[in-house]
């Protein structure tokens, strides 16, 4: 086992080992914590044995004897599946232990889970994360946390083991889910802005990469730089975050907006463009591929060939 980075070594479980979860679990192991992992597809769990993980046969088994279990799953349904029932987290966690939910879920689901865990004498903490799989591997995630203050403070070493920044957003777990959904809304809006700008620039015979260089100097954001490059290169495979999941998040933020009576017209447009991209067969591409909607609306069926054809003509203003 790696030498602990923190004074206190915790015994924890981790459920959900997709591209994000695997990187997060590996960093917890590298920080010296004792981690028992569970994934529906067992080979993803066994891939972490070399890093020191123990493999469980169920979510309940991963939770047995743990101070906390972290979960990183795709949606409300997947999370409910691993929490409820005889083989679920709620059955396996001891009284006083915590479920730390890192999944992007609805605020309604978060409140439901808080009630379920409270009925078992357990705690729910939300630790929503921003970042793509490479950031998860590199311990560069931004973590947004909400829960009982004493729980948040106790488990802060776990948040620091998976991310570069931890922000406490509130005392109710669902508040961090609200913040995560609004953060993903802002990223989706940035993707739409790049899509529209690039479509206009390509039809103006301007290289989007040169434009991106200027925008990186203006905004100085790694998120702008990363997504701007992906969209300019149309590097939508493999998907760091699948479009079908982006559509789910667009739907959830609109549900949140309706719940609190806060109109979000831009979020509605993002949802419609994601749905349009889904209808065009892009569900398993990276969610930034919904930028193709703006390109198609501008008459750019395939961006680079169309730019070359346009350059062969004389601009009407010249």
Query: 88 CB contacts (<8 Å, ≥6 apart)?
Result: 59, 60, 81, 82
Burial per residue of 204-232, b for 16 or more beta-carbon CB atoms within 10 angstroms, e otherwise: eeeebeebbeebeeeeeeeebebbbebbb
Residue of 180, 168, 94 whose CA lies nearest to 129 = 180
**Strand, helix or coil at 142?**
strand
Sign of the torsion angle spanned by Cα atoms 75, 114, 146, 123 = negative
**Residues 244 and 284 sit within 8 Å (Cβ to Cβ):** yes
**Residue 13 exposed, middle or buried by CB count within 10 Å (0-12, 13-18, 19+):** buried
DSSP letter for each residue of 209-234: HHHHHHHHHHH--HHHHHHHHHHHHT
Catalytic residue among 11, 44, 180, 203: 180
Q: Find where tokens 């078992």 sit.
A: 120
* β 123-130/141-146 pair status: antiparallel
C-alpha radius of gyration, the chain, whole number? 21
Burial per residue of 20-55, b for 16 or more beta-carbon CB atoms within 10 angstroms, e otherwise: bbbbbbbbbbbbbbbbbbbbeeeebbebbeebbbbb
Taking each helix axis from N to C terminus, what angle separates 222-233 and 208-219, rounded to the nearest 10 degrees? 170
Structural element, H or E, at residue 14: strand 11-15
Answer yes or no: 180 catalytic. Answer: yes
How far apart, in whole angstroms, are the C-alpha atoms of residue 165 and residue 108? 26
How far apart, in whole angstroms, are the C-alpha atoms of residue 251 and residue 253? 6
Active-site residues: which are they?
180
């Amino acid at each position: 086992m790696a030498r602990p980075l923190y004074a206190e070594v915790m015994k924890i479980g981790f459920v959900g080992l997709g591209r994000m979860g695997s990187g997060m679990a590996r960093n917890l192991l590298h920080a010296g914590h004792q981690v028992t992992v569970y994934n529906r597809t067992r080979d993803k769990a066994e891939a972490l044995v070399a890093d020191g993980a123990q493999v469980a046969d169920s979510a309940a088994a991963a939770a047995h004897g743990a101070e906390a279990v972290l979960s990183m799953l795709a949606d409300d349904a997947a999370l409910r599946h691993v929490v409820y029932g005889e083989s679920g987290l709620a059955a396996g966690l001891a009284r006083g232990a915590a479920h730390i939910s890192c999944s992007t879920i609805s605020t309604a689901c978060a409140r439901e889970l808080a009630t379920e865990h409270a009925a078992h004498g357990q705690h729910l903490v939300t630790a929503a994360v921003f970042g793509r799989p490479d950031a998860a591997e590199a311990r560069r995630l931004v973590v947004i946390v909400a829960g009982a203050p004493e729980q948040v403070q106790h488990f802060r070493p776990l948040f620091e083991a998976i991310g570069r920044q931890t922000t406490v957003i509130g005392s109710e777990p669902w508040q961090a889910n609200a913040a995560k959904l609004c953060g993903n809304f802002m990223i989706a809006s940035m993707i739409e802005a790049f899509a529209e700008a690039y479509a206009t620039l390509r039809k103006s015979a301007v290289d989007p990469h040169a434009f991106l260089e200027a925008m990186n100097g203006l905004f100085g954001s790694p998120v702008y730089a990363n997504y701007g490059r992906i969209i300019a290169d149309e590097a939508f495979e493999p998907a760091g975050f699948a479009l079908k999941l982006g559509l789910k998040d667009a739907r959830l933020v609109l549900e949140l907006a309706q719940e609190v009576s806060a109109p979000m017209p831009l979020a509605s447009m993002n949802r419609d463009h994601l749905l349009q991209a889904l209808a065009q067969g892009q569900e398993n591409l990276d969610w930034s591929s919904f930028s193709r909607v703006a390109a198609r609306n501008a008459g750019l069926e395939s961006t680079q060939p169309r730019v070359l054809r346009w350059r062969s003509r004389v601009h009407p203003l010249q």
